Amino acid sequence: MSNFWPSAGWDRLHINEHGRLQPTPAWLARFLDGPELALVRESCAAERRLHHALVEDPLMPVAEPRLQTLADADAADNYRAFVAFRDALLAAGTLEACYLQQVRSARVNLAPPFMQAMTQAIVRHILRDVGDALEARAGELLFRPQRVTTVDSVPLAGDVQTLDLLNETGGFGEIGRLLAQAQAPIRAAQMKVLTRENGADYWRAAQGPREHDFLLDLRHEMQQDLGHGLQFTMARAESGLGALCRVLQRWVQHLIGVEVQITPLSRIDDEHWRWHVGLDADATALLNDLYEGHEVDTDRRARLISLFALRFNEATQALPEMAGRPVYLGLCRTADGQVRLKPQNLLVNLPLALPA
């Protein structure tokens, strides 16, 4: 399990005495091999010199006049974005501090790939001692867009980029893409649904280039009516929702030092509903409408994946009016089935008594 998600570069980061992640030249150098900054055949001589210099010293100062010498304006903008990210990260001192500064500001000014990279590295860090493959797979929702498809009444989340690639190549890489373009029949690769039984397969896949290959079951707990107003509830041992709750608990505790308990809900029956946080844009809008008593059509309700109840372990960490009351959370898919969870919402929108 120690090498899962190599794309996070977690092993190239330094963990300080407070358990926070400090950037290193080796971690920053990884971005120079990414699609935004890697050299291509058309790269001009000035870009090649700059790239080679940054590979040698990722902390090297880069002045604006040098960027203006690049022939490709888009390439110059990509280097500006990298330098802005690097300098913000070094000024903050840790990935966690930089991430919090960004999400707490009026406007995030770092490019999305760098925000995603920080999120992935932090999630990888908080799961470093976790042996549960379901939690690791659920953690991917915090930094990788998902597509949720219902199969035999079971909502299954799959990595968008992986699904799109499989649709293009059938799981056979560049050869598969060529065959697909030629309309030749190919056997489509099937993504597996993660279970307790195949957890070891997840860990093996997560250590290589196929690190996002498993589907996550997002079904709710099972309930059985026993009659006489009694209902028996049994949590699913392979619940992706339960695993996601545990990951979000770790996320909140690590970044803002607040311990919470989060549990999935199938509905909200609360006359004293006081606070809610959407885990994505659609969920925020849906919860706002429900809270204000607006009518929500069937299509929008059907996009709701789950509701959750968040409770503070220490009541004094929440606003006084939240005493004994839960914070309701929601997670939705878009009209085209995508889930873009925003973990920052849990860091900036909770009813905290004092700034964390």
Residue 150: give the domain boundaries. Answer: 133-219
For residues 258 and 208, membership in a common domain is answered with no
Cβ count near 276 (within 10 Å)? 22
pLDDT in the model for residue 102? 98
Q: Helix %, strand %, coil % for the chain, to 5?
A: 45, 15, 40
329 and 234 within one domain: yes
C-alpha to C-alpha distance for 257 and 82, rounded to whole angstroms = 29
Looking at the fold, whether 153 and 112 belong to one and the same domain comes out as no
Please count the helices (runs of H) and the strands (runs of E) in the chain.
Answer: 14, 13
Per-residue pLDDT of the chain (356 residues; tens, 9 = 90+): 568 999 999 999 999 999 999 999 999 999 999 999 999 999 999 999 999 999 999 999 999 999 999 999 999 999 999 999 999 999 999 999 999 999 999 889 999 999 999 999 999 999 999 999 999 999 999 999 999 998 888 899 999 999 988 877 554 444 334 334 444 443 445 689 999 999 999 999 999 888 889 999 999 865 544 444 444 344 466 789 999 999 999 999 999 999 999 999 988 989 899 999 999 999 999 999 999 989 989 999 999 999 999 999 999 999 999 988 999 999 999 999 999 999 999 999 999 997 65
Position 165 scores a pLDDT of: 86
The tokens for 123 are: 């999630």
**Whether residues 234 and 338 fall in one domain:** yes
Write the CA distances from 286 to 227, 295, 307, integer angstroms: 33, 10, 11
My answer on whether 233 and 289 are in the same domain is yes
- Say whether both 205 and 295 belong to one domain: no
Kindly state whether residues 119 and 28 are assigned to the same domain.
Answer: yes
Longest Cα–Cα distance in the chain: 80
pLDDT of 229 reads: 47
Tally of domains in the chain = 3
> Which two three-digit tokens encode residue 197?
């039984």
Query: Has residue 235 been placed in a domain?
Result: yes
- Give the alpha-carbon dihedral of 228, 241, 335, 158, to 10 degrees: -140
Question: What is the Cα–Cα distance from 215 to 283, expressed in whole angstroms?
Answer: 22
Domain assignment of residue 112, yes or no: yes
C-alpha pair distances (Å), 95 with each of 22, 37, 114, 123, 348: 6, 21, 11, 11, 17
User: How much is the pLDDT for 2?
Assistant: 64
Q: Does 234 lie in the same domain as 193? A: no
pTM over 0.85: yes
Is 193 found in the same domain as 245? no
- 203 with 236, same domain: the answer is no
Using DSSP, state whether 17 is helix, strand or coil: coil
Q: Give the pLDDT of residue 231.
A: 40
- Are 147 and 83 part of one and the same domain? no
Domain membership of residue 312 (yes or no) is yes
Q: Is residue 356 part of a domain?
A: no
